[in-house]
Amino acid sequence: MIRSRLLVALAVSTLALALAGCSGGADTPASEAAAGHFDGGIKVTHYTEATELFVEHRPLVMDKDRRFDAHLSWLEDYRAVTEGTLTAELVWPDGAIDRASAQVSDTPGIFRPLLRATRSGQARLRLVLDSRGSVDAHELGEVTVWATSEEGAAAAPAEEEVDGAIAFTKEVQWRVPFLAEAAVMTNMAEAIPVTIDVQMQPQAEAVISAPVDGIVRATRIPSPGMAVRRGQVIATISSTLGGGEDVATLDLSINEARIARDAAATEVRRMEALVEAEAVPQRRLDEARTQAQLAEARLRAAQSRRAALAGGGAGVPVVAPISGEVLETAIVQGQGVTGGQQLLRIGNPAALWLVARVPEGSAAQVAQPQGLEITLPGESLSLTAGNGLALVQGGAAIDPATRTLPVIFAWNSRQLRPGQRVQGQLLIGAGSPALTIAASAILNEGGQDVVYVQIAGETFQRRPVTVLRRSGDRVAVEGQLAAGERVVSQGASAVRAAASTPDAFGHGHAH
């Protein structure tokens, strides 16, 4: 068990224990500010919505300079505050203010305002950061300014031993990936671990086959990813002929039809002359013209049959039955195909079915599926029914092939791809209040789940916990942890290393 000496902070409701020491709290006189670690100092950890403050200083004495070694970190990423001005203020009951300001020191993240109190008594202490175009005030509450150095020394906080304290200095925190987040009470639904198969919705997919035997013709060969709309002609099939017809027979038919057409045209001209001479009735001319039209039609039909045999002609259209995009294609210009042969597959990859496969042993727990938590590399998706997710099938029967209960949700998105298989959790039942932390905070040490809690700016403790359930990147836990305590969610392994090899991380500062 690692035991470290911690100092009890005074006069502030948010004072916390701290371990690592910094340099003296006064620049002058020398007796008040010896370089290096000093005992009898006050250490305070305080949070606003934007920053964390860890500050060390000696007890305040009237007409004595007191240096505030203030370590400031941005809570969004726990990086050091590297710009701006920090002002230390003593606000007296009558409204008078003693103040001192400082820019960031040679050590990024540390500000050292030197404050002198002009009177003794009770005053309100605040440290105000002006950085990034905004003001962030740490209200540290009522403090006592002593009349003499002897009174201040006597009021210095006593040292107290705390079991299992781990020193992890701000300078180290700022150099490694590090983040601490508060444990919070939230409603978390019960969940079952599942494998999720991503499929395209049945109505969002279609296979297009050749309607007849023939030759494929297309002005543009479709390629995967090409958008198509419902009713669009993708290609045509120039139908080949059956019945034993060959090229010679077709050519003879064309010639016979051409001769018949020419003869019919000649007969029309002859009838026109006879009608003009009133030698025959008009009916004879009308009959001749009809025969000419029939002969012309037979010629065109014979030419079309000949063109179809060669792979030409208008052909039978291949039409898209739905809108979407080409997923697969087997169309080749001029390719001979048979009726029913698959030419291409189209669909809408954004119209998805998420098939959650519940293990057979957990099937009885599935009553009212509420949604899915999907785990992806670097992120997680939280999908709930009614918010873009629709329940299609709540689990009707066990699949005999996979021995799982399929629960199907419909979802429109391109964040997943048809055919993909991902891991996640099926949310079941209503949520219940639970103490939750980031899943990344959990470390397993010898079969025991543990977290590292930041009990002060540079002081941490190892706490065993039990994971109750998971939801996305959060876990519900129980054990030696309370709501509001800050848990290391990034960098917990480094804190563990500091506990194992404290000399490698240092016990204090050299400011």
Whole-number pLDDT of residue 109? 96
Whole-number pLDDT of residue 506? 54
Q: What sign does the dihedral 88-92-95-96 (CA atoms) show?
A: negative
Give the β-pairing of 60-61 and 134-146: parallel
Instruction: Determine the residue type at 67.
Output: R
3-class state of residue 319 by DSSP: strand
Whole-number pLDDT of residue 501? 81
Instruction: Determine the residue type at 377.
Output: P
pLDDT per residue, tens digit, the chain (511 aa), is 333 333 323 222 232 323 333 443 333 333 333 333 444 589 999 999 999 999 999 999 999 999 999 999 999 999 999 999 999 999 999 999 999 999 999 999 999 999 999 999 999 999 999 999 999 999 999 999 999 999 999 888 877 677 889 999 999 999 999 999 999 998 887 788 899 999 999 999 999 998 888 888 888 888 898 999 999 988 888 766 555 455 567 678 888 889 999 998 999 898 888 888 888 889 888 888 999 899 898 888 877 766 655 544 556 788 999 999 999 998 888 888 888 899 999 999 999 999 999 999 888 888 888 888 888 887 878 888 888 899 998 888 999 999 999 999 999 999 999 999 999 888 887 667 889 999 999 999 999 999 999 999 999 999 999 998 877 678 899 999 999 999 999 999 999 999 988 765 555 443 4
Instruction: Determine the residue type at 284.
Output: R
**Per-residue DSSP letters for 377-420?**
TTEEEEEEBTTTEEEEE---S-BTTTTEEEEEEEEE-SSS-TT-
User: Tokens 């397993």 correspond to what residue?
Assistant: 444
On the CB side of 225, CA atoms within 13 Å amount to: 0
For residue 266, CA distances in Å to 69, 215, 258, 298, 415 come to 116, 38, 12, 17, 72
Whole-number pLDDT of residue 158? 76
**Per-residue DSSP letters for 319-346?**
E-SS-EEEEEE---TT-EE-TT-EEEEE
Separation between Cα atoms, residue 341 and residue 322, nearest integer Å: 19
How many C-beta atoms lie closer than 10 Å to residue 383's C-beta? 20
202: left (phi over 0), alpha (psi -120 to 50) or beta: alpha
Among residues 471, 467, 399, which one has the least CA distance to residue 429? 471
Instruction: Determine the residue type at 223.
Output: S
In contact, 144 and 61? CB cutoff 8 Å? no
**Ordered structural domains, the chain, with CATH:** 3-165 (2.60.40.1940), 179-201+348-490 (2.40.30.170), 202-232+314-347 (2.40.50.100), 241-310 (1.10.287)
Q: What sign does the dihedral 395-399-403-404 (CA atoms) show?
A: negative
